[in-house]
Amino acid sequence: MQDDDLQQELAAVAARLIVDDAQDWASARRKAAAQLGLRLGRDVPAPSDEQLEDAVREHLAIFHADTQPGELRALRELALAWMERLAPFRPHLGGAVWRGTATAQSNILLDLYADDPKAVEIFFIDEHLDFDSQGEDAEHLVLSVSVRSRALGEWVTLHCSVHDFDALRGALQPDARGRSWRGPAEALRQLLQAEDNAR
């Protein structure tokens, strides 16, 4: 089998793990390779992020077309509400919710930018949010909180990665196809409006 075919097969298996088992992309690549009896980098090159995302979209279209659009909409609306609440920290939405591949199992990933990263923690405390803090220092701080989605009838995990304000300059670097890996609240509003206009 050619490398391209192996990569496509690997991406398809990884996509199933991402969508159905809520695996992160790195774990999904490794587990998919193990399931196929392959060694990444030796037997087959790892699929790129773009190849893997294409496989995820294909899997969603085949197996989750009836539920995924509504779940994505609910997560985007919830993300926007939190972005508005966290506006002082210039939130940018990333991950599957931004890219349009999220399901009800997906987490909401926000990048926050602050002159003093500890200010974000203080804000969460002042807002009486029950959050977990990960990271050994302010440069690698992630604050996680469970938030209720009424539309989904479920709890969703919101992960807020805190960055120095200077990192905001590189936040909108595009992928190989020219699409941004994350976007601000206004861009998310435009996505939601485009969905409304398409109905």
Question: pLDDT of 166-193, one tens digit each?
Answer: 888 777 788 878 888 899 999 999 999 9
**Domain co-membership, 32 together with 56:** yes
Last residue of a domain, one of 31, 48, 63: 63
**Domain co-membership, 75 together with 134:** yes
pLDDT of residue 173: 80
Phi, psi of 148 (to 5 degrees): -85, 130
- Domain residues for the domain of 84 are 68-198
Q: CATH no. for residue 190?
A: 3.30.460.10
Give the Å distances, CA to CA, from 24 to 13, 35, 37, 114: 13, 16, 20, 27
Distance CA 14, CA 16 (A): 5
Domains: count for the chain = 2
pLDDT over 90 at 130, yes or no:
yes
Q: What is the band of 5 on the pLDDT scale with cuts at 50, 70, 90?
A: confident
pLDDT over 90 at 144, yes or no:
yes
**Domain co-membership, 106 together with 190:** yes
**Domain co-membership, 7 together with 48:** yes
Number of H helices, E strands in the chain: 7, 6
**Domain co-membership, 28 together with 82:** no
**Domain co-membership, 138 together with 188:** yes
| Mean pLDDT of the residues in the chain | 92
Give the Å distances, CA to CA, from 137 to 10, 88, 121, 169, 181: 36, 21, 12, 21, 25
**Domain co-membership, 58 together with 82:** no
What is the rounded average pLDDT of the residues 50-69?
96
Tens of pLDDT along 77-116?
999 999 999 999 999 999 999 999 999 999 999 999 998 8
